[in-house]
Structures are given as C-alpha cells and as structure tokens.
C-alpha cells in the first residue's frame, strides 16, 4: 500500500479512485464524471491531462485574486516557516491578531470584535448562537427572544443550525425533523416581483411583510438573518434597492439583531468590499467566509458589536463565556492568506480595476437576455445569474430534472470553460482579477451553451 502511494498514479487510476472512493459534495456519485485538476494558475484550471479551463465560478465563489497569486502563496510560505497552527482557545498568534484588527478596520462601522471559525456554515452558527445567548444573559435579559426571521430560498450553509435558517427545500427538506422552526418571509426579489409592481412598490411590500412578522412576534425575535443585496444559492436573486436599508431600520426599531451573511457576497464580489456598503448599513453580526482567504485556505469569521461583546463579560463563575469553538479557528496559515488577500485589494486596486469588467459583463448579459429561453439575467457587480425557462413569457419553467443549467455548463467545458449552475440558473462569477478577453471567452462559451442546451 505504501509503495502504491509513493508511485505517481496514472490519470486513469486517479479517475477510478476519484469516482469510487471520494464522496463529492452535492454530487450524485452514480453518474459522477471525474474532472480532476492537477494545478492552476491565474484564472485557469489545468487538469491531469494538461488541458486548460477558465474558472468561471471562482472555484465555487471563493477565489478573488486568481490561483497561485505569488503574493498570497508567499504569505502562506512565510507563515509556514514560523508556525502552522496554534489554538485560539485561551491563547493567540501574531497573524490572526493582525487579521482581526484589519477586518475591524475595513468592515462596516460598529463591528469591533471578530470570532474566527473554519467555514461559512460555522460563521452563521456562531452568529445565531451569540444572538441567542446575548438575550439570555444581557443585563436585563429577554429570554423569550429565541425566534429567528429568515427568508424562503435563502442559503446559509449545510450544518443543522445554518440549514434551519436556510430555506432551499431541495437541499434541506429531508432533514426538516432535525431543524428548528423559523419565521419565514418570502424572498425580497427584484426579479420575481409581481409584474404590476415597480421596484419601489415591491420594496415597500416586502418591508411591510417584514414589519408584520416583527409585529406578530413582538418581543420574541432574537435576530433576522439575510444575505445582503443578493440571495446567492437561491439563483442570484437581487433585492429591490432600499430593501436592505429598510430592513436595518425595522430591526433597529424592534430592537432585533440583523445578521448579514456575506459569506458569498463579501470581499469585492459585488463591486464593493462588502455588500452592506451598497446601502451604507452596519449589521449587528457580519458572517464572512469563502473569499476571506482569497480562496486559498479554509477560514471564516463572525464580526459583531461592542454591545454584544459586553454582554459576555463577567466573572468566570457567572458562566457568561461563549462555549463554542473549532479546533482550527483562527489558523495562522489561513490568517496569513487572508491578510495578503486584503492587502492585495489596496496594492492592486482590485475594485477600481474591476469596474470595466463589470461593465463588460453587463454588455454580455444584455445580449444573452434576448435569447428566447432566457427568462432573466441578474447582475450585481461581478456576480451574475442567467435563468433559463421553457417559456419565459408565460412563466413556464424548465423541469428541474431536465438539468438545462448543467447542459449549458457541459457545453462550456468543451470550450475550455468550467462553470457550475444552480438548477436552471447559469452562474458567472470569475475571479476578480480575470482579463477582459478571458471574461469574453467565458460569456461566449456560455451563450453558445445556452443555444445548444435549449434547442429542444
């Protein structure tokens, strides 16, 4: 066995092991066809045969500055020469401290404390549990505040707490008996609003629903959780302008926490460092993951306010400590990658450089939107979703089992573009550093994919 591993396995052996031993996430293993990356550079993935593919979805929404960026790679190597890991339970390391300080500086005002974890789902769990515990033990406790308001079709991760506030039936319905109940609101969707409504009318209607839910559960709600500006896994569903700000105001008015899950939209994806900046709001909890380390290493963070922090202070015997932690929380290698990622935003003026690419993406989408089987194109910054439908005019969708989105991506792969859809929604969100001609190549391959995948 040792000998076998020491030898370089052939591409064929890897394919066999990959389909027979590795259990892939969100993948039907009975029909899995191996796609095995051997290395990557910039925005290009290179497979075991040496074939090159553009990374159209940033390795599942997390890569920001491209693969093998020398600055990030070097930061990880330098850290490796100091220490790879120490715990964050009752002790610290220089790199995670610097990262916490940096996050505090760049995040929306008022978020002064940082709790590290290892993935986005955990960052959400932490926010939910901190909010809950806050109401139990603050100076004048309100222990009856234990409900959460969340949105149908939202996605906050796959652990049981994050799945409870998530609302995508196809992912989590089976586990319903294991999940806690939440107060559910319809998705505030700019795209799927009633056709008779203007965006302003839709915003007011969605806010009225939120106000009503808060009123009906007066004094019982711990927090509202939202993916700010865009519900990602729901299909890149953009919100009416002003909605997020309105929700912030409602939360304040009812003294309810607002949890912003920026795991998908944080770190420049929407054209600003954080999506909350679009409406100039500060949440009470900010969940970060995915792009935090530029897509290099696992790390997540939950930021919160001094008000929350203070409610956890006291004598040891009072038991106000937050009993939650992950072995690799605040890992220094990940922190080094995250610090370098944040520094690159300044050194390379990433967001300024992104503007012409956002405009180019918009041009492509305007053309693609006229296709007879494209129901709508959504875009915020450098994130886009193209929804396919059998008959967009009369709102007749494609049956889920037809896998139209996957068929588009299957075609794109033959043109050297790797993408992964959300059901009937084709997603485009390449690394922020992609070149204009590479972006063109992605959009054109996907456009031809749409032609081919919808011609029957």
In angstroms, what is the minimal distance from the CB of 31 to ligand PLP? 23
Contact track, ligand PLP, 206-245, x by CB under 6 A: ---------------------x----xx------------
Nearer to ligand PLP (CB atom), residue 262 or residue 447: 262
In angstroms, what is the minimal distance from the CB of 66 to ligand PLP? 20
In angstroms, what is the minimal distance from the CB of 319 to ligand PLP? 29
Tokens of 317: 């015997």
Torsion angle defined by CA atoms of residues 235, 405, 63 and 330, in that order, rounded to the nearest 10 degrees: 60
* Residue 268 in contact with ligand PLP, rule: CB under 6 A: no
* Residue 261 in contact with ligand PLP, rule: CB under 6 A: yes
Distance CA 346, CA 364 (A): 28
Contact track, ligand PLP, 66-105, x by CB under 6 A: ----------------------------------------
**Of the candidate residues 264, 303, 308, 358, the single one contacting ligand PLP (CB under 6 A):** 264
281 contacts 241 by C-beta, under 8 angstroms: no
404 contacts 449 by C-beta, under 8 angstroms: no
Q: By Cβ distance, which residue is nearest to ligand PLP?
A: 120
* Residue 155 in contact with ligand PLP, rule: CB under 6 A: yes
**Of the candidate residues 54, 72, 263, 442, the single one contacting ligand PLP (CB under 6 A):** 263
Nearer to ligand PLP (CB atom), residue 67 or residue 156: 156
* Residue 266 in contact with ligand PLP, rule: CB under 6 A: no
The CA distances from residue 12 to 21, 31, 35, 36, 39, in Å, are 14, 17, 12, 11, 17
- In three state form, how does the secondary structure of 147-201 look? EEEEECCCCCCCCHHHHHHCCCHHHHHHHHHHCCCCEEECCCCCCCCCCCCCHHH
Tokens of 355: 């503007």
Give strand pairing partners of 96. none
- CA–CA–CA angle 295, 267, 147 (5° rounding): 100
95 contacts 332 by C-beta, under 8 angstroms: yes
In angstroms, what is the minimal distance from the CB of 421 to ligand PLP? 15
Among the listed residues 50, 133, 46, 59, the one whose alpha carbon sits nearest the alpha carbon of residue 427: 59
Residue 81 φ then ψ, to 5°: -75, -10
Contact track, ligand PLP, 100-139, x by CB under 6 A: -------------------xxx--x---------------
**Of the candidate residues 147, 156, 172, 411, the single one contacting ligand PLP (CB under 6 A):** 156
**Of the candidate residues 188, 271, 283, 289, the single one contacting ligand PLP (CB under 6 A):** 289
Among the listed residues 452, 380, 389, the one whose alpha carbon sits nearest the alpha carbon of residue 424: 389
Of 36-44, 178-186, 261-269, 399-407: span binding ligand PLP (CB under 6 A): 261-269
- Residues near ligand PLP (CB under 6 A): 119-121, 124, 155-157, 227, 232-233, 261, 263-264, 289-290
């Amino acid at each position: 066995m040792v000998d076998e591993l020491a030898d370089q396995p052939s591409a064929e052996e890897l394919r066999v092991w990959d389909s027979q031993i590795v259990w892939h996430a969100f993948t039907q293993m009975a029909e899995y066809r191996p796609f095995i990356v051997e290395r990557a550079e910039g925005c290009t993935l290179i497979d075991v045969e040496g074939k090159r593919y553009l990374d159209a979805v940033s390795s599942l929404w997390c890569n920001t500055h491209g693969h093998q960026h020398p600055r990030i790679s070097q930061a990880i190597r330098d850290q490796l020469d100091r220490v790879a890991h120490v715990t964050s339970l009752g002790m610290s390391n220089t790199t995670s401290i610097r990262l916490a300080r940096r996050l505090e500086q760049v995040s929306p005002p008022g978020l002064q404390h940082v709790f590290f974890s290892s993935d986005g789902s955990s960052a959400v769990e932490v926010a939910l549990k901190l909010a809950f515990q806050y109401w139990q033990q603050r100076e004048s406790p309100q222990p009856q505040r234990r409900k959460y308001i969340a949105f149908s079709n939202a996605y906050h991760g796959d652990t049981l707490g994050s799945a409870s506030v998530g609302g995508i039936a196809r992912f989590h319905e089976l586990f319903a008996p294991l999940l806690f109940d939440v107060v559910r609101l319809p998705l505030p969707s700019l795209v799927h609003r009633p056709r008779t409504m203007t965006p302003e009318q839709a915003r007011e209607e969605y806010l009225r629903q939120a106000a009503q839910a808060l009123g009906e559960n007066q004094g019982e709600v711990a927090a509202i959780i939202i993916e700010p500006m865009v519900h990602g896994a729901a299909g890149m569903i953009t919100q009416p302008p002003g909605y997020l700000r309105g929700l912030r105001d409602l939360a304040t008015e009812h003294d309810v926490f607002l949890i912003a899950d920026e795991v998908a939209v944080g770190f420049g994806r929407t054209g600003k460092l954080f999506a909350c900046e679009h409406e100039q709001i500060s949440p009470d909890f900010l969940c970060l993951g995915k792009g935090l380390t530029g897509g290099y290493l696992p790390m997540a963070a939950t930021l919160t306010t001094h008000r929350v922090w203070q409610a956890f202070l006291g004598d040891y015997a009072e038991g106000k400590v937050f009993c939650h932690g992950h072995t690799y929380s605040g890992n220094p290698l990940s922190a080094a990658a995250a610090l370098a990622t944040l520094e690159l935003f300044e050194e390379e003026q990433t967001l300024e450089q992104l503007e012409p690419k956002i405009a180019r993406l918009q041009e492509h989408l305007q053309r693609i939107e006229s296709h007879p089987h494209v129901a709508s194109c959504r875009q915020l910054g450098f994130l886009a979703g193209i929804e396919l439908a059998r008959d967009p005019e009369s709102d007749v969708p494609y049956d889920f089992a037809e896998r139209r989105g996957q068929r588009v991506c299957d075609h794109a792969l033959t043109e050297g573009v790797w993408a992964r859809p959300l059901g009937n929604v084709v997603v485009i969100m390449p690394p922020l550093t992609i070149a204009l001609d590479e972006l063109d190549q992605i959009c054109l391959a996907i456009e031809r994919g749409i032609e081919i995948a919808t011609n029957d």
